[in-house]
Amino acid sequence: MTEETITAEAGNDALAFCEGARSLPVRGVRAGRQFAVQDWVADEVPVALEYNGVSHAVMLATPLDLEDFALGFSLSEGILDAPHELFAVEEERSEIGITLHLEVAGGPFARLKERRRTLTGRTGCGLCGTESLEHVARNLPVLPGGPTWRREAIGRAMSQFCQLQTLQQATGAVHAAAWCSAEGEVMWLREDVGRHNALDKLIGALAANGIEASTGFIAVTSRASFEMVQKTAMAGVSLLAAVSAPTSFAVATAQRARMTLVGFARQQDLVVYCHSDRLSLGSAAGGEHAH
């Protein structure tokens, strides 16, 4: 079999530049034909977060929108109560990764030091490092009754994901989290190799730009884990729609926070796991919009 250079078929070689990825030589076989091309591979680097000089966490993340990530992580993890408590973020790059130096107010820093007495660490996916079961689920806000969402709005938002995920189109390796208007328009979107990181970046972007997150809903390209539900609740958003399924712990957490949790949201199909009273499943002609 003759080896060929198949630019279009092998994937995104025609792109001159893709932020958050690097071009690497690859070889393979597709449709019975060998190819050798340059392909885009998503960047994944260790990102350390330090608060007032004290190391707190190291995440594996895509090195994009890191100020959004720093703010969103701090808010969704309950380290900060409000965006103004973060004074500055300084980014330091080295051969082994990136350190984000966060300067925060005294009150949050004191709480963080107290928290560090009982938490030994945290990984980018899961709850490793907690010392007891009591530390897993912190108190979440009970979300108000809020708007009634229409099924069509969720379907519209999910259908926009593919065209807006530029890094995913180039690499096929990243997740996305999006904040959508009541009408289902994707207004803000962030991407990352980690689904939690993508959501933190989104939450940070909304907070930094003064967006009233409760007026819309969040859609994600991953499964709905406990942490995804918890972070969404901390952002004050009453509906989370995921492409894949939730876990039982995620459903229980959404029940507790009075969040509408939707899974398998693909085109116009979806499954509602709790608080379905907020969601109109009828046609556009038969349902009311957000009110």
**HEC sequence for 137-151:** CCCCCCCCCCCCEEH
Provide the residue range defining the domain that includes 26.
Answer: 7-42
Q: Which of 209, 206, 266 is nearest to 237 (CA)?
A: 206
Q: What is the phi/psi pair of residue 36, to 5°?
A: -140, 115
End residue of a domain, out of 135, 166, 184: 135
* 0.75 surpassed by pTM: yes
Quick check: helix, strand or coil at residue 24?
strand
Same domain, 171 and 104: no
Q: Verify whether residue 125 is a known catalytic residue.
A: yes
Same domain, 156 and 224: yes
Q: What is the pLDDT of residues 166-190, one digit of tens each?
A: 999 999 999 999 999 999 999 999 9
HEC-encoded secondary structure of 90-134: EEEEECCEEEEEEEECHHHHHHHHHHHCCECCCCCCCCCCECCHH
The type of residue at 29 is: V
Q: What is the mean pLDDT of residues 271-291?
A: 70
Same domain, 80 and 96: yes
Choose the catalytic residue: 125, 128, 162, 274.
Answer: 125
Same domain, 174 and 110: no
- Does residue 291 lie within any of the structural domains? no
Same domain, 33 and 78: no
Same domain, 244 and 268: yes
Residue 240 pairs in a beta bridge with 218, 261
**283: confidence class by pLDDT, cuts 50, 70, 90:** low
Q: Which two tokens stand for residue 67?
A: 């100020």
Average pLDDT, the chain: 88
Same domain, 154 and 183: yes
- Does residue 142 lie within any of the structural domains? no
- Does residue 285 lie within any of the structural domains? no
- Does residue 140 lie within any of the structural domains? no
Domain count, the chain: 3
State residue 135's pLDDT score: 59
Better pLDDT: 91 or 10: 91
State residue 158's pLDDT score: 93
- Does residue 2 lie within any of the structural domains? no
| pLDDT beyond 70 at 119 | no
State residue 36's pLDDT score: 97
| pLDDT beyond 50 at 251 | yes
Same domain, 108 and 130: yes
Q: What is the CATH number of the domain that holds 218?
A: 3.40.140.10
Better pLDDT: 255 or 126: 255
* CA 26 to the chain's CA centroid: 29
Same domain, 32 and 104: no
State residue 147's pLDDT score: 74
Q: What is the pLDDT of residues 62-100, one digit of tens each?
A: 999 999 999 999 999 999 999 999 999 999 999 999 999
Q: Alpha helices of the chain — where are they, by DSSP H?
A: 7-10, 66-76, 106-116, 151-164, 166-171, 195-208, 226-234, 248-257
- Does residue 254 lie within any of the structural domains? yes
Q: What is the pLDDT of residues 192-213, one digit of tens each?
A: 999 999 999 999 999 999 999 9
End residue of a domain, out of 88, 111, 135: 135
Q: Which two tokens stand for residue 73?
A: 């992580």
- Does residue 143 lie within any of the structural domains? no
Q: What is the mean pLDDT of residues 14-26?
A: 87
Same domain, 125 and 166: no
* CA 51 to the chain's CA centroid: 22
Same domain, 206 and 165: yes
State residue 73's pLDDT score: 98
Eight-class DSSP state of 43 = -
Ramachandran bin of 183, using left for φ above 0, alpha for ψ from -120 to 50, beta for the remaining angles: alpha
Same domain, 167 and 255: yes
The type of residue at 119 is: L
- Does residue 1 lie within any of the structural domains? no
State residue 114's pLDDT score: 83
**284: confidence class by pLDDT, cuts 50, 70, 90:** very low
- For the beta carbon of residue 225, count every other beta carbon within 10 angstroms: 22
Q: Which two tokens stand for residue 155?
A: 């379907």
Q: Which two tokens stand for residue 121?
A: 């660490």
End residue of a domain, out of 108, 135, 162: 135
| pLDDT beyond 80 at 3 | no
Quote the CA–CA distance of 192 and 205 in Å, as a whole number: 14
Q: What is the CATH number of the domain that holds 109?
A: 3.10.20.10
